């Protein structure tokens, strides 16, 4: 259980760091992104472990990765170039 928690926390941290490094202008502060990635991964590991029992480590880490990616994606802001401007009235 400890290996699952540590592995999912590291996986969430790496995912959040990669997102913050790749999309710095579309995400809020780096500390918020990193903490959201870790918290999402830990929650995903908890949900996967609770629903599947003591499944294989790879399955639990996959669940952690999915929930972490979904959590970090909720922080994304729209790109500036895709925003539509309203026509002047």
Contacts for 29 with CB less than 8 Å, ≥ 6 apart: none
pLDDT at 86 over 80: no
Contacts for 64 with CB less than 8 Å, ≥ 6 apart: 7, 8, 11, 12, 40, 41, 42, 44, 45, 48
Contacts for 4 with CB less than 8 Å, ≥ 6 apart: 45, 49, 57, 60, 61
Task: Report how far apart the first and last C-alpha atoms of the chain are (Å, whole number).
Answer: 61
Mean of pLDDT values over 21-47? 95
- The rounded distance, in Å, linking the Cα atoms of 34 and 20 is 8
Note the pTM of the prediction, 2 decimals: 0.84
């Amino acid at each position: 259980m400890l290996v699952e928690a540590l592995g999912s926390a590291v996986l969430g941290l790496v995912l959040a760091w990669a997102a913050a490094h790749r999309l710095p202008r579309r995400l809020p502060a780096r500390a918020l992104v990193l903490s959201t990635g870790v918290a999402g991964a830990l929650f995903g590991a908890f949900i996967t472990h609770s629903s599947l029992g003591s499944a294989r480590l790879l399955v639990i880490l996959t669940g952690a990765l999915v929930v972490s990616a979904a959590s970090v994606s909720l922080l994304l802001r729209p790109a500036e170039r895709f925003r539509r401007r309203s026509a002047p009235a």
